Amino acid sequence: MQNRIKEFREKKGLSQGKLADLCNVSRQTINAIENNKYDPSLQLAFKLAKTLGVTVDNLFLNGEEN
Amino acid sequence: MQNRIKEFREKKGLSQGKLADLCNVSRQTINAIENNKYDPSLQLAFKLAKTLGVTVDNLFLNGEEN
DNA sequence: TGATGGTGTAAAATATGTTTTACATCATTT
DNA sequence: AAATGATGTAAAACATATTTTACACCATCA
């Protein structure tokens, strides 16, 4: 599943580490998700969306992998 | 995290088993999620939303557990 | 009564997400 | 040249999600 975390994060002038702090996860988690190592949990997805000021549906590109 | 899966599922006249089939997961998974045993993965959340014809943001009630 | 469909639940196994520690690279600053 | 901040990555440990198998209860229908 694709995501636009890096895009919105940079638009807010946040580093991976700062976003991680705001979401109470490690920097590696943010990095891994941005680089598509794995998808976040639903909880973290909502936390990320809230922190970045977008909806979950807008933050994640739901391709036809379903 | 709260969800409205049961509500939308019944509105569509689907059983837990049928919804499970449509989402390619087991019936127990649907049952566990409806009864808040755990949250679905992000992928499954999108699949459920798509199948039920709603957005992820509308399907899940993001309380202040963040 | 016996069969069927829908739901709730439980344990064990497997898959996936997250943390911690640690190191590497690159750019910028002192 | 050394220090700093941002990013990429890796392995081990731990946490959470999902499957499989199985059984139980209840309602309805043959």
The predicted structure's pLDDT at residue A65? 52
pLDDT, average across residues B15-39: 97
The CA radius of gyration of chain B, in Å to the nearest whole number, is 11
Residue pLDDT, tens place only, B39-55: 999 999 999 999 999 99
DSSP string, B17-48: HHHHHHHTS-HHHHHHHHTTSSPPBHHHHHHH
The predicted structure's pLDDT at residue B33? 98
- Which residues does residue A2 pair with via DSSP β-bridges, in sequence order? A61
The predicted structure's pLDDT at residue A62? 83
Task: Answer yes or no: is pLDDT of B19 > 60.
Answer: yes
> Using alpha carbons only, what angle is made at residue B48 by residues A66 and A35, rounded to the nearest 5 degrees?
50
Residue pLDDT, tens place only, A25-53: 999 999 999 999 999 999 999 999 999 99
Mutant choice from B1, B42, B66 vs A, greatest count of A C-beta within 10 A: B42
Return left, alpha or beta for A15; rule: phi > 0 is left, psi -120 to 50 is alpha, else beta.
Answer: beta
The predicted structure's pLDDT at residue A14? 97
Give nearest nucleotide to B15 (CA–C1').
Answer: C6
Give nearest nucleotide to A30 (CA–C1').
Answer: C18
- Are A41 and B46 inside 8 Å of each other by CB? no
Of the candidates A51, A46, A52, the residue with the CA atom closest to the CA atom of residue B55: A46
